[in-house]
Structure 1
Amino acid sequence: MADHQEAAVTLPSDPASVRVARDYVAGVLGQWGLPERAPVADSVRLIVSELVTNAVQHTFGRSPTFTVDLRLERGERLRIGVTDSHPRWPQRLPAAVQQDNGRGMVIVRSLTAECGGRMSVTPTADGGKTVWVVLPWAVETAVVDRPCREAAARATSPVPSPATARGVGVLGRSR
């Protein structure tokens, strides 16, 4: 395996692009050796879905496209970046129990942290931003720690976790 592999796709900011981005990422990761049925693959697909959905829904037409970047560094770290040209950065919102939306970044932060990764946001030259998620890469075993699998299962559940319902961030800080 090469020390560094990269792939990127730029898509229109349209709801139909969410599935295209998710499928693209799954295909690239499969080419890089991650089995489609590996537990971490579910987490990555969910993270990409949430980040891309945010890029489509929250740019209010000010970002006609978004880009998904994938970088595999030395077979140790997977970097996932979603870039749009809207200047507004993701907001931490309280996830009310009856709220139908607004949980995307809570899901991303939770999955990222529980899978042993980290999330950051960086500005772009055109005034937009890139939301980066960095996850450990362990294709040899294609197994993720139990907390990561459990986080993916909770994230797809309609009932928020107790920490989310209390308004506590994934790192235990109050919002």
Structure 2
Amino acid sequence: MIGAVLRAGLDRFERRWNYDAGYMRRILAADRRAGLKLALATGFMNHDFGLPAEVAFAARLRSTRAADCGPCLRLGLAMAAAAGVPAALLRPALQDGAPPPDDRSDIALAIGYTDAVLAGSADAPGFAAEAAARFGPRGQAGLAVAVLAGQTFPLLKRGMGEAASCAPVLRELAAMEDADA
């Protein structure tokens, strides 16, 4: 019965987001208990910890881009749009390089935090302290989970033999920006 409930949930997820969750189905088919645990972990990784949506999505998308999974990046952008986050706010998270040093925005902090955590940089503790000061301990935990979430599914997909680069998605976004200019 649990397997049927999880498969139905995957059906809804795939329809809603136009996303191929085949790797999740393969995990569920191989080990039903593992599929249930993956579903529970997904709920944890989607928890916002009270962070503003644009901050959580900036960190998650920056992390997803670093993991280089186009379908996951597309999914994250669709989820951000559904949460009402304007795409323009997330552009810096998808671009190469860090925000300018004089940018003190919450988005810039999320990007710098993500980059430092992913690089294992000596700057990571400073970013963590700044995140805690700005968003509180709960928000700092939210940023940490957003970075984790951005890496988890791309790496899981790659491990299951289903990797796809972000490059096509980034080219599409650049073309849209050029058309808007």
TM-score by length of 1: 0.30
Structure ID, larger Rg: 2
Answer 1 or 2: higher relative contact order, Cα 8 Å, separation at least 6. 2
Which structure shows the bigger proportion of residues in helix conformation? 2
Which structure shows the bigger proportion of residues in strand conformation? 1
